[in-house]
Structures are given as structure tokens and as C-alpha cells.
Amino acid sequence: MIRSFIEVKPESHFPIQNLPYGVFRDNENKNPRIGVAIGDYVLDLSVLDEFGFFDETDVSGKRVFHQSSLNKFMQAGKKAWKEVRAVIQHLLREDVSILRDNQSLCNKVLKQQKDIELLMPVEIKNYTDFYASKEHASNVGTIFRGKENALMPNWVHLPVGYHGRASSVVISGTDIYRPQGQTNPTGSNKPIFGPCKQLDFELEVGYFIGTGNELGMPIPVEEAEDHIFGLVLVNDWSARDIQSWEYQPLGPFLSKNFATSISPWVVPLEALKPFRVNGPVQDPEPLPYLRTTNLGSFDIHLEVFLKSENMEKPQLITSSNYKYLYWSMEQQIAHHTITGCNLQTGDLMATGTISGPTKESRGCLLELTWRGKEPIQLDNGEQRVWIEDGDEVIMTGWCQGDGYRVGFGEVRGKVLPSREIKVLTHSKNSTTS
Ligand code: CA
């Protein structure tokens, strides 16, 4: 096992095996630039670039690390990602002296993570959200349509998805305003307007498209992974009451477009490869364009915590795993592009809620509380059916290696009350009597 000269505790998410990319700035230098997390530090790639450490790679002279997003580096392609990662990993090794024994260089390129501000890592062009967990789709289907009709007939034949909203994807730590909208509560004979009463989180993993495809030219399933730059955690906030009124016939719209939170460190696909596992057996066999013999899944442990305003520390409310997902990222990409749809550098794809086979591994409150029937008991005596104002939702995840973890850090977001807006309070149709 390789080690870094920088101390990395076994439970740290950022050992030399990970090396996730992020965009940061600090008080000394307000310019956003690219860094890599190592232990409690961030390695400033823009400074390393100025010292010529990447001169032998495909990004030489392109100033890809002096950017406010990863897009330019992502666009450079798989060969460049591999070369850059090799340079960084080499420089950080405990048995390599170049950086280790050069204190003045270390001072220039290493910052404590507590002293920096992490920014949105990618300029997101498009956002697509899938629905790839069979357990999640089955649970939701059972709640809304009964056990006999849990899965729609198409579900086992294609990775269901929809085109989401890129503009409202936000970085971890961004407050979320409770959405308002139309709902049609049970027993009501007409819709009403007001703050969402059934606000939910969705535990998902997202992946960024590094290099896209030409319009009209599908990406074959066997080549799909070459287009993936890296992965993040995603909380796809959802307004269930708005969703159940609006979703037919075109699917979710406002119930999903107000906020999607992502973790700030983008974990390279390369770092996850030691944790490859088989996904679930696919029966019926998918159509040829979705067929692959690759080990398409990854063993990524996932956790969700909730902290209300009255709680001193967050409480674990569910644990799941990426490996439960039925449809793989490569199948999602092959399906997305089979029409000729062009993916672009900076597109965010998300898996959909990741639920496991047990009650304790359900990936959203809709399932955990079975649409409100089984409230969650919090340690301080409070109960939760849906997310309340002041609640903070924190997600984390990692792959467990032998004595180290390849982790994602966390994605957190706190829910604030809806903002007030002006609406007509009297009816245009009302008659005075
Ligand atoms: Ca979702």
C-alpha cells in the first residue's frame, strides 16, 4: 500500500489513493483555482503548474488549474487525467523527496483545508437525474400504486430518467429555501397554494461528464466510462406534495427544480476502481445496446444524518450503498445518448435515490416513513415525517480499503422557511353581497 509523507488518519476520506479535485480560494489569494485534497490539506495545482510539474502532460501550458471550474481540465480527456493524477500521486509519496524535503515549496503548495473556501467545482451545463434503484422504484410504486403495480413495465428494460435543472445545483453548505407551490391535498376538491408540506431529501451519487459526444453519435456502453471524470454526493431535494399533484403526464417539474446539493470534492473514477463489484443480476436481459460484461458497480457505503435546530449533534437516519443500484453509470450514459443526444463537458448525471433491501437502507423520507405513516424517532424526543424548517441534512460516503478510506467528504444543506411573495389575496371572481 502506498502512503503519503503527509499524515492521513485511517478514517480520513482523503488518502493518497483518493486525490479528489476541487475549486478553492483563500485569504492569501482570492483567485479561484484547482486543488486536490490530501488528509487535512489541499494541494494547490495552479502553483505546481507554474513550477512546471505538469510540463510532461497533456495539460502543459494550458493553465487548466488557474480556473474557477474543473471544466477545462475535464475537457482535456482521459489521458490527461491519468497523467496528472500520476504526477500528483508521485509527488505526495512518502518515499519521494521532491516535495517532502522542500519546505519552502510545501509552504507554497499546501494549505490547511480549514483555511480555504471551497467553491462550486464544475460549471454545470446540463443535469440529468435517473431512477436507477429497483428498491427505491419498487417502494415508491408500492406506496402510490400498490404492491401489484410497484414497477412500471418499462422499468426493467431501460434506465428511467428525466432532464433536470442545472441552474439550481448548489454546493454543500448552501441554505435551501422551502419551495412553495400548488398541491392538491387528499380530501380537497381543488388545489391550494402555499409552502411545501412534504419536503424530502434524496440520497444519490452524481457523476460528471468529462468529455462529451458529437450530436448524432451515441456512446457505446463499453466506452461509456471513458467519458466519466469523477463522482460527487448528491442530495436531490424533493417536494413530495407538489410532485404528486404535478407529475402526470410529463414527470417531475417544480418538485425537483428548486435545489440540488452536491459535495465539493470530485472523486476521480480512477480512485474508485479498486472497489468495483458486480451490480444486481439484470433479469430480463437488457437489449443489446445496454448489454455489458463489465463489473459495473462500486462498493460505496453511504449515510444520511439529520440535525434539527434543537439537536446538539446530527443523528444517523439511514445507511445505504451504491452497489444496490440496478442500472450502472455506463448503461445510463449509453441509454442517454442512444438517440444521438450529445453530452457535454460539465454535465451532471445523478443515479436517483439509492435504497437498499432493508428498511434501514431506504434513501429518502418518503420511503423511510412510508409516506408519513411511520415517523422517525429522534434521540431528543422529536419526530420527523418530512423535513422541517431549521433541519440540516448531511450525507457522507466512502469506500473502505484495507487501512484507508476513499471518501467523498460530505454534502450538507439547511432548510430555511419559504420567502414571502406578493399574491392577490382577494378573488377576481368573488361577488360582494
Ligand atoms: Ca432524484
- C-alpha grid cell, residue 378: 429522534
Same domain for 197 and 308?
Answer: yes
Q: 175 CA to middle of ligand 1, Å?
A: 19
Among 315, 296, 186, which residue's Cα sits nearest to residue 241?
186
Q: Is residue 427 part of a domain?
A: no
pLDDT mean over 342-366: 98
More confidently predicted of 392 and 432: 392
Same domain, 109 and 222: no
Task: Compute, in angstroms, the gap from residue 292 CA to the centroid of ligand 1.
Answer: 25
Q: What percentage of the chain exceeds 70 in pLDDT? A: 99
Q: Cα(185) to centroid of ligand 1, in Å?
A: 22
Residue 302 sits in the same domain as residue 353: yes
Whether 134 is in a domain gets the answer: yes
Residue whose entry in the numeric block shows the C-alpha cell 453511504: 302
What DSSP letter does each residue of 225-272 carry, written as one string?
Answer: GGGEEEEEEEE--EEHHHHHHH-TTT--STTTSS-EEE-S-BEEHHHH
Q: For residue 236, report the distance from its CA to the centre of ligand 1, in Å.
A: 5
Only one residue has cell 415517523, namely 375
The pLDDT assigned to 430 comes to 63
| Backbone phi and psi for residue 242, each to the nearest 5 degrees, phi listed first | -65, -40
Cα 262 to Cα 412: distance, rounded to the nearest angstrom: 8
Residue 11 belongs to some domain of the structure: no
Task: Single out the residue in 76, 92, 119 at which a domain terminates.
Answer: 119
Q: Tell me if 238 sits within 8 A of 256, measured CB to CB.
A: yes
Residue of 136, 227, 335, 336 marked active site? 136
Residues 206 and 235 in one domain: yes
Do residue 277 and residue 384 come from a single domain? yes
Residue 228 lies in a domain: yes
Residue 163's nearest CA partner among 343, 326, 367, 354 is 343
- Which amino acid makes up residue 277? V
* Same domain membership, residue 104 and residue 145: no
Q: What is the pLDDT of residue 433?
A: 47
**Please, which pLDDT band fits residue 432 given cuts at 50, 70 and 90?**
low
CA of 131 to the centre of ligand 1 (A): 7
Residues 178 and 274 in one domain: yes
For ligand 1, the distance from its centroid to the CA atom of residue 242, given in whole angstroms, is 14
CA of 351 to the centre of ligand 1 (A): 7
Residue 198 CA to ligand 1 center (angstroms) comes to 15
In this structure, the answer to whether residues 277 and 323 fall within a common structural domain is yes
Asked which of 119, 143, 165 is the last residue of a domain, the reply is: 119
Q: Which tens digits make up the pLDDT trace of 29-76?
A: 999 999 999 999 999 999 999 999 999 999 999 999 999 999 999 999
Query: Three-class SS of residue 86?
Result: helix
Is 136 one of the catalytic residues?
yes
Mean per-residue pLDDT over the chain, rounded: 96
**Helix (H, G, I), strand (E, B), or coil: what is residue 432?**
coil
Residue 432 lies inside a defined structural domain of this protein: no
- Count of structural domains, the chain: 2
304 part of a folded domain: yes
Between the CA of 117 and the centroid of ligand 1 the distance, in Å, is: 28
Evaluate if pTM is beyond 0.95. yes
Please give the torsion angle defined by the CA atoms of residues 92, 97, 102 and 103, in that order, rounded to the nearest 10 degrees.
60
28 lies in the same domain as 134: no
The answer to whether residues 410 and 318 belong to one domain is: yes
Could you tell me if residue 194 is inside a domain? yes
Name the grid cell of 191: 388545489
Query: What's the 257 CA to ligand 1 centre distance in angstroms?
Result: 10
Q: Compute, in angstroms, the gap from residue 352 CA to the centroid of ligand 1.
A: 4
In a domain, 178, yes or no: yes
C-alpha of residue 365 to centroid of ligand 1, in Å: 13
Q: Residues 208-232: what's their mean pLDDT?
A: 98
| Last residue in a domain, options 102, 119, 136 | 119
Same domain, 58 and 132: no
Enclosing domain of residue 41: 21-119
308 phi/psi in degrees, rounded to 5: -85, 170
Residue 135, domain CATH: 3.90.850.10
Tens-place pLDDT, residues 131-188 = 999 999 999 999 988 999 999 999 999 999 999 999 999 999 999 999 999 999 988 8
Closest alpha carbon to 354 in 20, 124, 122, 129 = 129
CA of 6 to the centre of ligand 1 (A): 38
Whole-number Å distance, alpha carbon 284 to ligand 1 midpoint, is: 24
CA of 107 to the centre of ligand 1 (A): 42
Listed range (62-71, 92-101, 144-153, 360-369) with the worst mean pLDDT: 144-153
173 with 189, same domain: the answer is yes
